[in-house]
Amino acid sequence: MGAHNETAWAEGALGWGPRSQQVLKLGVLLLVAVVPLVYGGSYLSDYFTAKFALLYAGIGLLLAIWLGQHAGSERIRIDRRSYDRPLVVYAAISLFSLFWAVNPLRGLEIWSTQIWFLAFFLLVARFFSSSRARWGVLWTIALTSFVVSLIGLLQYGGIHLVPLAYGHWGNFGVSTLGNPNFVAHYLELSIVLIAGMVLARRRLWEKVGLGALLLFEIYYLLMTRSRGGWVAVGVGLFVLSLLYWPQSVRRTLLAGALIIVSMGAVGAGVGKGVPTESEQSLFAEALEQVRAVRDRALSSFDPNHFSVLQRRLIWADTVALIADQPLLGVGTGNFEFLVPAYRTVTRHRAWAKLIANRPHMPYYAHNEYLEIWAENGVFGLAAMLWLLSALWWLAWRRLQSVTGQDARALQAGLLAALCAALTHSLFSLNLQDPTSALHFWLIAGLAVAGSHGETDSARVWVLGGFRRVFFFVAAVPAVVGVYWGLGVLVADYYYFDGQRKYYDFNQPNRASLAFAQATEWRAHDFRYHHMLGLIKMQGRHPVEATRILSRVEELHPNNAPALRLLGQGLYWSRREEEAIAILGRAIALDPLEVEPYSMLARALHDRGLRRQGEGDGDGARVSFMRAIDRWHQALAFAPENVDFLRSLGIEYFSVGSIDDAEAALARAAQLSPEDGLIQGNLGAVFLAQGRLAEAEAALVRASATDSLRAEWRSNLASVYEKQGRGEEVEQALRQAVRLDPDNLRWHLRLVELLQREGRVIEALRAAEAALQAQPQNERMAEMLRNLRRRLQKGE
C-alpha cells in the first residue's frame, strides 16, 4: 500500500489510529534491535530460546494492535495482493500436514511460528511503505549489527562484554548469536543491506561511515569461517551490482578496491616489526589470517571435510525420506522425528567416524528447500517457491518503477539481501534461526511495501455491531503470543536447571522435579520426558521409567537413546516380549551402539527359558539361537568383553553346542581367570564333555571365588558321582541345599541319593525339609508319602 493509501487508512480509523501505527512501527524497530542482542545467559539451554520467546510475545502484541486498529474503523478494507494466494495455500498445506504427523503438537508449534513470521511480513508490507519508515528500519539494522559485530570481534581478543554461557567456544567470536553459522546468517543480510545503503546515501560522511561499517562486518564474517556466509554475501553483492548498474558504481567499486589496497599497504608498513603476544608482526598475523581464509574456502571442494561430509550425510538421509514420502511429507515440524529411520549402516559408520561422541542424528536438514519438501511434500515446496517467486516479482516490479538512483539502490539492496539469504538456505537453517528469519521476512516486507501488488479487486467488511467483538478477537494474538513465549521461556529454564542439577551437581531428585515442571509447560517436548525417564532408570525404578519413556516413544518414535532406555526398563520389568521389539527398533535406528545388542540377547535368553519351561523346545531353541547372533554382534564391537564372551558360552551351552561353548568360555577365562561365573560354567561344559578332572578343577575354583552359588556344588556332586565318590556327592549336595534351600533340585537329588543307599529315615528328613521350603510342591509331597509308607512297612 502506498503513502496515499496509508494516509487514507489512518483517516478512516478512530483518533488513536495514527498513534497505533506509530506504536506498531516502534515495536518493529524494537524487535529488530533487541532480538539479535538478547540471549539467555546461563539460564537457558540454547541461544534460540530467549529470541523465540521475545518474537512470540512481540509479534503477538503487534498483531493485536494491528487488529485493534481495524476494530476502530467502521469498515475493513482488504486489498488483494498477488502474494496472498500462495501465502494462504502454503499455510493451508503446512497445517493440513499435521493430520499425519507423529508429533502434531510440536508441528502445530512450528506451524504457528511460520504464521507469526508471515503475519509479521504482512504487517511490515502494509506499514513501512514510506521512505522514512524504511530508512528507520535500515539504520536500526546497521546500528544493531555494529554492536553485534563489536561484541563478537572483541571476543576473539578475550574481551567478553557479554559473558558466554557455554564455555566450549572460548574466545571464538559468536557474539550474542551463539554459533559462527548463526552469526553468518545475520551478517550476510546486514552486509548486503549496508552495501545498498552506501550506494543510496548522498552525504560523504554517511558513505564513509557506512563503508567503514561494511568493511568491519565483512572482516567479522571472514573471522567466523562460515563458507556458506561467504558464498551468500558474494551472491548478494553480485546481485546488487547487477540490479544497480549505473556508471557511477564502477567508479565506486574501483575506488573501494583502491582504498582497500592502500589500507593494506599502509597496514603492512606500519605493522612490520610491531611485536605481539605471539612474537609476530601485525603483518604476519594478517597474512596468516588471509591464508586461513584461503584454506577454509578451498576446503569447500574437499568432499571429506568435516562440514561438507556432514551435510552430504544429512542430505542423503533427507533425500531417502523424501523418496519414501514425496507427495505429502511427514508433517510440519516433524523432520527430526522421522529422518533417523532413513540412515543406512554405511552412513552411520561415516557419521560416527566424523563426529565421534556428538549427537548421532540431525535436527535440521541444513537445506531449507529439502526440509520443506520432507515435511510438507512436493505440494508444500511448490507453494513456498510460488510465494517466494511472487515476492521476488513484486519487488522486481517495484525496482523497475522507482525513480531516482537513491531509491533504486535501496530497493536493489533489499532484493540482493533476499538472494543472499535464499542462497545460504541451500546449506543451512537460516530461515529457522529466529534472528535471521525475522530479518528475512522483514526485508521481504520492505521489498514489496508500496509496490503495486494489489489487484483490481478488494473486499470491504462492515463491522457494525461486531466492532466490540472484534476488539476481543484482536486481543487473541497478544494473549497467545505472550503465553506462548512465556511457556517456551519457563519450560527451557526448568529443563536447563534440571540438566545442571543432574550433570553438574549430582542432584537427581531435584533435577527430576525441574524436568517435571518443564513438562507441565510444554508436554510435547520429548527431551524433558527423556531426562525424567533417564533419572528414573538410574534410580532403579523401571516401572515408572517405562511409563515415562513410553511417552517419549509417542512423541519421538525414532529416538534411539530413548528406545534403548525403554527396552532396558521393559526388560527389568520382566516384559521381555515388549523389550525384544523395542530393542530391535533401537538397533535398527543406531546399529553402532553396543548396549542394545547385549540387552536384546538377555531378553531373548529369558524368552527361551520361558518357552523351555512351557515345553516349547523348538521355540526355546529359536530364541537361544537369536540370542547367540546378538552376542556375536555385541562382540564385534567389544571382542574382549568378558561379560559378552561368558554369556555367549552360556547361550551355546543352552542349545547343546558344547564345543562352541567351551571356546567362548575358555577365552573369557583367559581374560578373567578369577571370575567364578566363568569357571563354574566352564566346569559344566567340561562335565558335559566327560572331562571330569578339568571339570572338578574349574568347579572348585568357582566354589572358592563364588562361594554363595549352589550350582557349583550341584555340578561338583555330578562330577563326584561319575567318579564314584559317593561320600563327596552327599557332602556337595548338602552344601547346595544349605546355600539355596528354596531350590527343590538339590533336595530331590539328595533325597534320591539317600533312597538309593537305603537310608530311608535320612531321606524322610530331607524330604520334610524340602516340603517346608516348597509346601505346594506335589512331587515332593508324593515322595514324602512314599517314604512314610516304606518306613511303616519296615523297609
- Mean pLDDT across 700-721: 87
Q: What is the residue-averaged pLDDT of the chain?
A: 85
Closest CA to 144 of 435, 423, 440: 435
Residue 269 has pLDDT above 50, yes or no: no
Rounded-to-integer distance, Cα 344 and Cα 320, Å: 10
Q: How far is CA 711 from the centre of its chain?
A: 48
Please name the fold of domain 594-672.
Answer: 1.25.40
Instruction: Tell the residue number behind the cell numbers 526485508, with chain if given.
Output: 443
Joined together, the cell numbers standing for residue 245 give 548498474
User: Is pLDDT larger for residue 740 or for residue 788?
Assistant: 740
Rounded-to-integer distance, Cα 31 and Cα 38, Å: 10
**pLDDT band for position 272 (50/70/90)?**
very low
The pLDDT value given to residue 145: 97
What percentage of the chain exceeds 90 in pLDDT?
A: 59
Rounded-to-integer distance, Cα 770 and Cα 747, Å: 6
* pLDDT tens by residue, 653-709: 989 999 999 999 999 999 999 999 999 999 999 989 999 999 989 989 988 888 888
User: Which residues neighbour 572 within 8 Å (Cβ) at sequence distance 6 or greater?
Assistant: 542
Q: How would DSSP label each residue in 537-551?
A: HHTT-HHHHHHHHHH
* pLDDT tens by residue, 390-406: 999 999 999 988 888 88
Q: How far is CA 579 from the centre of its chain?
A: 24
Q: How would DSSP label each residue in 129-181?
A: -SHHHHHHHHHHHHHHHHHHHHHHHHHHTT--SS--S-GGGTT---TTTSSHH
Q: Are strands 454-462 and 75-81 parallel, antiparallel or unpaired?
A: antiparallel
Rounded-to-integer distance, Cα 492 and Cα 499, Å: 10
The pLDDT value given to residue 159: 84
Joined together, the cell numbers standing for residue 155 give 571476543
Residue 273 has pLDDT above 50, yes or no: no
At residue 654, what is the residue type? S
Q: What pTM, to 2 d.p., does this model score?
A: 0.86
| Geometric angle at alpha carbon 629, from 626 and 634, rounded to 5° | 130
Rounded-to-integer distance, Cα 346 and Cα 527, Å: 27
Rounded-to-integer distance, Cα 147 and Cα 220, Å: 12
Domain ranges of the chain: 74-462, 594-672
Closest CA to 98 of 497, 502, 380, 409: 380
The pLDDT value given to residue 764: 72
**pLDDT band for position 26 (50/70/90)?**
very high
* pLDDT tens by residue, 471-496: 788 889 999 999 999 999 999 999 99
| Geometric angle at alpha carbon 302, from 300 and 308, rounded to 5° | 60
* pLDDT tens by residue, 625-651: 999 999 999 999 999 999 999 999 999
* pLDDT tens by residue, 612-625: 889 898 999 999 99
Closest CA to 417 of 186, 178, 147: 186
In 3-state terms, what secondary structure has residue 577?
helix
Burial of residue 170 (number of CB atoms within 10 Å: 0-12, 13-18, 19+): exposed
The pLDDT value given to residue 12: 43
